[in-house]
Structure 1
Amino acid sequence: MASTITRRALAALAGAGIAALAIGSAAAADKPRIAAVVQSLDTEFNVLWANAANSHPLVKDGTVTLTVLDGRMDALTQSNQFDTAISEKYDALIFVPVDINAGNDPVQRAKDAGVPVIGSNTLISNTDLYKSYISSNDVEAGKILAKSVFDKMGGKGNVVIVEGMIGQSAQVQRLEGIEATLKEYPDIKVIEQKTANWSRAEALSLVENWLTAHPDEIQGIIGENDEMAIGALEAVKGHGLDPKKIPIAGVDGVTDALLAVQRGEMMSTLQDADAQAQGAIDLALAAVQGESYQPKAKVWDVNGGKLAWEGGKSQHYSVPWVPVTGENVEALLAMRKTQ
């Protein structure tokens, strides 16, 4: 399989839905078969995640068959994809859930059927159902987001919070981190808070309305992901305001956010899609093949990475966040061009 897949190609694969799983079931019986049920293939971060999964060395060389399925931001769609993957006897599943609670039932069904499930990126509430999971600490992300904005505001003033899709683990946990940090800044006041569903367009409209309703009253903007932070940035610029005077922060390190950091217009923290996706492939293969499996992703200590592999036996692996700065943004943009 090619080392990278375009968003259009991924969407086409996902559009095949159950047919894509059926094709996978026809693969050589001796190849481990993994289905990755992801939130959506309509945002850059999820596409980066899927590209990274398809770039895993054992997927690229055909040793492993990987099918990536688009959950289309719908918990029922993901649940149906689980049932199909179970019936098609996939060896393991990787799950990036839409909803923190609705995702529990399909994982339980897979576990009951003897199919190991590896969590990646966003999580279900009952993480004990996973064989193992690899993610970044979203509570910590919320704290990083809030502190970066509050400090740029001088520790006082009015802030607005653009939330992700309500009920997703990243939305729940990033908000928890933001609220914990708010307690440390008594002179910061939240004057607006609402979801924009991880969408740049929705955030643009939302923040435009807030800027109209609160002229000259918004001193900082927190976006729970980069897409929404970029939408907020566009709204600020559309109102003729200087973004360098209204701190805006997001999370993920998508390309447009890196470029905005480079221009000094916003702040971002990179979420390592490569580590989360390829690490999940290794954990899935360890679940299938046992202790003899040797990991191939660069994230592990055996390959000079930052995480201890520990035989693939730990239930939770936490990928560090990478703050995007003026010093590292050029290197991150150069790396993005090769992905």
Structure 2
Amino acid sequence: MNTRMRRAAFAVAAGAMAVSLAACGSAKESGDKSDSSSSAKKGDAIKVGLLLPENQTARYEKFDRPLIEKKVKELTNGKGTLQYANAKQDATTQAQQVETMITDKVDVLIVDAVDSAAIKNSVQKAKDAGIPVVAYDRLAQGPISGYTSFDNTTVGKTQGEALLAALGSKAKSGKIVMMNGSSTDPNAAQFKAGAHSVLDGKVNIGKEYDTKDWKPENANANMEGAISALGKKNVVGVYSANDGMAGGIITALKAAGISVPVTGQDAELAGVQRIIAGEQFMSVYKPYAPEADAAAEMAVALAQGKSLDTVAKDKVDSPTDKAIPSVIVAVVSLTKANINDTVIKDGVYTVSDICTSAYKAKCDALGIK
């Protein structure tokens, strides 16, 4: 995706940013963009529509939804309400959900698109109805008013760098398999590009897949096919774009009697436990609270007819729109070494969540207690 981003000089960044700098717009231009969909200023009694893409990945129901709802309540003195729907990985369903939100006259929409291109017409319909749209986690096409996500190219780079570190001198001793995310998700393309920028020329890529709908069972089937094609003795590592797929991949590897480094993303509980057990090498920890808070802050401001200038310090271009006010959140490489300092310290999981009886001995050995 050709995405350009402008960071304010004082914004916090981690690593090289995934998007190129956009030309600076004036405060007036940013304010005009933010306010264009809001016909009148409103108080705290606003209705925020939240549309999430699927429920197979643990993060959406466990973290994103409750965090956004909590922040909306906080920002509106308890008067704001959240109307929620999950598309369960169906773009047509999500389009119908947008129609319902428009009919129900929500004041603003937060949308994590199943298909970033297919959602374009729905975003336009919301705008035409005077409802601004905040793109959440995935950069939707159409006239969106704000966007928040992580530095997605850096996510891929972080995964690639971790895989190279795990392989060490064995990096070119065999083949790696690349299990990318769904082709309908623009983030997947950025993860893939970031990973390739690190891995190309330093490993031998034996097989590469774009995994339909990010489903673990599809990743499992792809991995079985890769093992059959390459031979189990020739597979030295696997780039997996997220933890859910890593689970399916590791099941296939175990069945073939293979133990090699596997990457991931999202710091799902099962992924963290696999890292402790030595089955998965790493995950990318993406602090959901800053992302969710940014989405809620932009949504409330837009619903109340306010500018996003004080909330969104970045600017991002989509294929259909320019200089979208945005908040880009940094990511962390999660390994055995920093579980205490990341997901436990931030309260994502407790020690008892992670260190169940099956993992207690491994946790004790790593000092997780």
TM-score range relative to shorter protein: 0.7 to 0.9
Q: Is 1:336 aligned with 2:353?
A: no
Task: Assess if the C-alpha contact under 8 Å between 2:239 and 2:263 holds in 1.
Answer: yes
Change (3 A) 1:30 1:57: closer
Partner of 2:198: 181
Task: Assess if the C-alpha contact under 8 Å between 2:136 and 2:295 holds in 1.
Answer: yes
324, 327, 332: which one aligns with 1:322: 332
Q: Is 1:149 aligned with 2:163?
A: yes
Change (3 A) 1:135 1:187: closer
Cα distance in 2 for partners of 1:145, 1:181 equals 9
86, 96, 107: which one aligns with 2:112: 96
What is the CA RMSD across the aligned residues, in angstroms?
2.4
Q: 1:328 is aligned with what amino acid?
A: N
- Alpha-carbon offset, residue 122 of structure 1: 1.4
Where do residues 1-339 of structure 1 align in structure 2 (5 Å cutoff)? 31-47=45-61, 48-56=63-71, 58=73, 62-125=78-141, 129-154=143-168, 155-156=171-172, 157-183=174-200, 186-194=201-209, 195-213=211-229, 214-242=231-259, 246-266=260-280, 267-291=282-306, 311-314=310-313, 315-331=325-341, 332-333=343-344, 335-337=347-349
- What's the CA shift string for 1:51-92, capped at 9, x where partnerless? 322332616974210012111211111111112211221000
Cα distance in 2 for partners of 1:328, 1:142 equals 19
Task: Assess if the C-alpha contact under 8 Å between 1:40 and 1:46 holds in 2.
Answer: yes
Partner of 1:17: none
Secondary structure of the residue that 1:108 maps to in structure 2? helix
Cα distance in 2 for partners of 1:333, 1:255 equals 11
Cα distance in 2 for partners of 1:216, 1:41 equals 36
Cα distance in 2 for partners of 1:107, 1:230 equals 34
Cα distance in 2 for partners of 1:150, 1:209 equals 23
Task: Assess if the C-alpha contact under 8 Å between 1:150 and 1:220 holds in 2.
Answer: no
Of 267-276 and 207-216, more deviation after overlay is shown by 207-216
Q: Percent identity?
A: 26
**Unmatched runs of 5 consecutive residues or more in structure 1:** 1-28, 293-308
Name the TM-score, length of structure 1 as normaliser: 0.78
Task: Assess if the C-alpha contact under 8 Å between 1:270 and 1:321 holds in 2.
Answer: yes
Task: Assess if the C-alpha contact under 8 Å between 2:48 and 2:106 holds in 1.
Answer: yes
Could you list the structure 1 runs, at least 4 aligned residues long, displaced by more than 6 angstroms after superposition.
Answer: none
Cα distance in 1 for partners of 2:271, 2:312 equals 35
Task: Assess if the C-alpha contact under 8 Å between 1:163 and 1:196 holds in 2.
Answer: no
Alignment coverage as a number of residue pairs? 288
